Chain A
Amino acid sequence: MDYRITQGPGLTEAALSGRLTFNDYEKMRLLMRDLGAAPARHVTLRLDGLEFVDSSGIGMLLIVKEEVEQKDKTLDVRGATGQVLRVLTVADLGKVLDLRP
């Protein structure tokens, strides 16, 4: 998995791409550190480029949400498609994550 962070007025956007699996846990830790350090109050995770997420990936996304909120920021998740969208839907994560198209 790879990620790219862009800063906008009041918004930090992190675009994930590739496959999100357990082996990406250290990269996700770096992402959490970078998002926590960003000045904007709102964070958007864009999953358009994410092809696959396994169960540990889901766990990591939930941890990202916790870490971001602990820094008094808000988070939404956008652009999930294919297998990623199916997993998020079956897991009913719309109740936990702010899922947007």
Chain B
Amino acid sequence: MIIKEIRIKNFRSYYGDNNIFEFSDGLTLILGDNGDGKTTFFDALQWLFNTTIDKGNIDHMSEMRRSKMEIGEKEEVSVAMLFEHDGEKSVEKSFSVERVSEDFFRVGQLVYRGYETFGSERIQVSGKNLIDRCYDAFIQRFSMFKGESELNVFDNATALKDLVDKFSDIRKFDDLVEYTSSFEEKANAAYLKEMKSDRKVAGEAKSLELQINRLAEEISTKKRDIKDKTTSLEVFSKRLGELEENQETSERYKDIQSRLKNKEEKRRKLKAQISYIDYNHALLDRMWVLCAFPDVLQEFKQKCSALSREKRKQEKDYERQKAIEIGKLEAVKEMQGALVNGAPELPWYLPNQETMEEMLNDHICKVCGRPAEEGSEAYNFMWQKLEEYKRHIALEAAKKSQKEAIEEKELFKFGNIESLHNLSISLSGSNESQVSGLVREISDRMGLVERLTEDLKEVEQQIQDIIDEKSRLLIQAGNVSEAILEKDFNDIKGLFEQKGRAEVRLTELNGELAQLQTRMDGLQKQMDALNPASSQVKVYRDVHRVLEEIAKAFAFAKKENLRRFLAEMQDKANGYLEQLSASDFHGEIRLRQTADDSTEIRLYSSNGTEIKKPSGSQLTVMYISVLFAISDFTQEKRDEDYPLVFDAATSSFGDSKEENFYNVIDNLKKQCIIVTKDFITKGRVRFPEIEKLTCCVYRIKKADGFDSKNMATVRTTIEKIK
């Protein structure tokens, strides 16, 4: 299929009916800056080729056209293509839009019209069928690409299988391999059956067959294990490859994270230390408010001790006074009388009251034995003596009570001064030194906090530096999120271990398989060596042997065919790669078959090292080469060419690479439509470079005079500049 012409009507930014692109069978470039309608062109093509939708969509209509429609007016949106495919054909997809009210548009059904030319006659056919017949979805998948990221068509696991099925003859081998192996199995079964009935070798054959069957089972299990292991090994390797790209970043990230954690911990500790004492609370809780208290405390202590001294002094004076009074009392001496002859009297208490009262009563002095009548001198003497005695007793009693009264008298009734003095004593000593030490405690603490605050400032600066470093790292790492870096680091170790284990296991399994195969060969040989008696059995045996060889041959042929197909495609792709890369380093493409029957595209250096991280442009060139190779195959196998359409596929190319690249493609004689913003600098086309190309070039851009905020003022204009 060769596209001759594309006509776009009222599709998005393509306003009106005058949007026509004509194409040669080589390269056509459509140049446009951002927002000029490049992707819309590509989308219009995709919309045309999509045969799965039936409804029009108002969003596809030109905003400008829509805004200009009168109520009741009808308009059409369409994309039409004129192309060459076994003669000239055309296809048009369209839908109608009618403005019913200010805000409402009625959208009509999609109409898919196709025309074919037979001789000179033009016949209308189903557009859908025409597209499906000439440019089916499968081909589209390998021929239309939007952006660089879509180029890796083999990212889809079934893509290669589809491709192989379409373009190689391997499919045919599938049936053959199946037939021949079933023949072989049947022949074998028949042969073994005959063998067992053979008189001579029946017993031996039976036991051999049993062993062979068992072994065959083991072998097939082993093979399955090996396949599983190989698949998982591939998964591990692939994942590891991806991870290794981030590994360095990941390790640096890890390092930064651990330093950050460390510093943050330090900051936390410093902050805790600094806020350990709240100055406001410490005034009360730690009694710092007493820092200026020592002088007051001195006053208190002095006052207390003065009071105590004064009180004790007064108390002492008072006691002395009391003692004097008591002394005075006691100092009153008794004057002793004298008797007639000058001899001293007996003390007043001799004889005692009882004796005297008895003698007065009996009227006789019981000392001298003389009578003492009442009124006599002796009687009177005794009576006076008794009276004196009584007076003495009374006097004694009075004196005693007087003394007691003096002794009982107290100057101070209460002990307040003592308890104040006690308080003063308790506030002295260690408590006093604590209070006078507060000033030092406070200034020590403030000094410490000052130092800690300095440290904290420093740590916070370091943290900021580390965070900056992390941001720089993340910017350099590009689109990798922190979570992935974190995870990668953990994964990579685990994956290495798993991969290692899988490799060891695979080697073991292969060894075991080899052993089993040897045993199997031995058994087969023994079986073959049996010499059956019956010639019938011999015939069976020979038939089986022949069929077995045939089955092997077909299986091998199938494998070989696929290998050759891939090798051929690889060669072609490498051919393109060399051409497209020109003088630049390009390496070598290898198409590698994986265990699950899909294919990977890899770039290798000629010394056999895989280029793990090809640049964006290297990748693009690599994929485009493969796509060209596939396109060649289509041409060979189907005898039909088809166009390759790329939208902004070369955005990673530098200026010099661009020019060379387009020149090469221009000379390939393959229809290629490339929509790109290459060759445009600051909105202007670089004409000198365009001049060097031989291809046809269109320039699309927004028509002048649009309102930068109103989409209804935007329309794409098309100009053929070469």
Q: Are A and B subunits of one complex?
A: no
